[in-house]
Amino acid sequence: MPGIVHDNVLTVPSAPPIETRITRLRNFWSDYCRSPIAVVALVVILVLLFVSFGAPLVSPQDPYDMAALDWLDAFLRPGDIGSGGYVHILGTDNAGRDMLSAIFYGLQTSFIIGLSAGALALLIGVTIGLCAAYFRGWVETVLMRIVDLQLSMPAILLALVLVAVLGQGVPQIIGALVVAQYAYFARTTHGAATVERGKDYIEAAQSTPLPTSRVLFAHLLPNVLPPLIVVATVQVASAIALEATLSFLGVGLPLTEPSLGSLISNGFKYIHSDRYWLSIYPGVFLMVTVVAINLVGDQVRTVLDPRNAR
């Protein structure tokens, strides 16, 4: 009988082409680009990063340089020309500061605080989450109890009290934000790692004589990464918003170290007069920054979600 059936043991099913790191990145990017809004958001973030960290280059004035400030320039309307001979596109504040320059420098402070708080919280949170998931037993119980407890407290309250304890200043604010936010990373890492832990490949890795830490980082971390990226973007945005809120409430940064929050807080004093530009413009930048970061995070979440794969 001419068999279409082969009596073999070695038929290798034709596997789909192996995904290399580059094709994976390319796929990620093309999936990401499916949302035009998210692409715009990404471009906006890049532009904001440029003007903030390049603030000395792009802004017309150094708002920290008290000598350059002229009281006669106070409360100039947007579009007026001040003593410096250039147009104040967004007007000036009560001290004669060019609003646009102040916003660029303020954005820089906000980014520095948001990014470093996010990075530190990520580092601490991931370490705690991974340790809890890996060692189990009482280590897991104690660590995750603390994390749960902290998560049930709103970050804003925690940060408020911490800033009150630590005092004003950039490092203090970063510290308060880290303490308020690390728990989100720990929770996410622990959750994802617990799911991964139950899978066979971790057990397989543990049955080899590899050291514990190798298994932990080589195997668990890459699988925990996708949800962490999403949490990280959201947390950076919320760190920036939190800092602004704290400064607005008067416990964050003083106006001598302008962040977006302290600028808005300063402008809020003039809200009943006609001088809207003092508070509106820094607020618009704050809003655009936070929303853009969140939109990027949203799209990354959508792309990384295996349920959305088509």
Partner 1 sequence: MFGFLAQRLFQAIIVVFAMSIIVFVGVYAIGNPIDVLIDPGATAEIRDNLIRQYGLDQPLWRQYLTFLGNVAQGDLGKSMVYNISVVDLVFSRLPATLELVLVSVVIATVIGIPAGLYAGYRPNGIAAKAIMALSVLGFSVPTFWIGMLLIMLFAVNLGWLPSGGRGEVGTIFGIPTSLATANGWSHVIMPAINLSLFKMGLLIRLSRAGMVEAMNTDYVKFARAQGLPDGQIVFRHILRNISIPIVTVFGLELGSTLAFAVVTESVFTWPGVGKLIIDSILQLDRPVMVSYLIMVVILFVQINLSVDIVYARLDPRVRLKGGK
Partner 2 sequence: MIPALEVRGLTTRFATRKGYVTAVNNVSFSVAPGRIMGLVGESGSGKSVTAFSIMGLIDAPGEISAGSVRIEGEDMRQMTPEAQRKMRGRRVSMVFQDPMMTLNPVLRVGDQMAMAVQVHDRVSKKAAWERARDALDIVGIPAPTERLQAYPHQLSGGMRQRVAIATALLHRPAVILADEPTTALDVSIQGQILAEVRRLADDTGTAIVWVTHDLAVVSSLADDICVMYAGCIVERGTADQVINHPCHPYTHGLIQSVPSLHEPGRKLPQIPGSTPQLSQLPSGCAFRNRCAHATDLCRTDPPDAARGERRVLCHHPLEEEA
**Which of residues 84 and 169 has its CB atom nearest to partner 1 in the complex?**
169
Please report whether residue 309 would count as binding partner 2 according to CB under 8 A. Answer: no
C-alpha to C-alpha distance for 248 and 89, rounded to whole angstroms? 24
Coil vs helix vs strand at 158: helix
Q: Are 136 and 190 in contact (CB under 8 A)?
A: no
Residues 6 or more apart in contact with residue 215 via CB below 8 angstroms: 134, 202, 205, 206
Among 40, 66, 142, 157, binds partner 1 (CB under 8 A): 157
Residues 6 or more apart in contact with residue 164 via CB below 8 angstroms: 251
Please report whether residue 79 would count as binding partner 1 according to CB under 8 A. Answer: no
Among 33, 46, 164, 204, binds partner 1 (CB under 8 A): 164
| Binding at 14: pick from partner 2, partner 1, none (beta carbon under 5-8 Å per type) | partner 2
Total chain residues near partner 1 (CB under 8 A): 35
Please report whether residue 103 would count as binding partner 1 according to CB under 8 A. Answer: no
C-alpha to C-alpha distance for 118 and 293, rounded to whole angstroms? 13
Cβ 290 to partner 1, closest distance in Å?
A: 5
For the segment 2-61, give every residue that binds partner 2 (CB under 8 A): 2-9, 11, 13-14, 16
164: left (phi over 0), alpha (psi -120 to 50) or beta: alpha
**Which of residues 206 and 294 has its CB atom nearest to partner 1 in the complex?**
294
Q: Which stretch binds partner 1 (CB under 8 A): 21-29, 78-86, 218-226, 280-288?
A: 280-288
Q: Are 118 and 239 in contact (CB under 8 A)?
A: yes
Amino acid at 224: V
- Looking only at Cα atoms, what is the longest distance across the chain? 103
For the segment 214-243, give every residue that binds partner 1 (CB under 8 A): 237-238, 241
Q: Which helix (H) or strand (E) holds 234?
A: helix 221-249
Residues at the contact surface with partner 1, assessed by CB under 8 A: 149, 152-154, 156-157, 160-161, 164-165, 237-238, 241, 244-245, 248-251, 264, 268, 271-272, 276, 279-280, 283, 286-287, 290-291, 293-295, 298
Residues at the contact surface with partner 2, assessed by CB under 8 A: 2-9, 11, 13-14, 16, 310
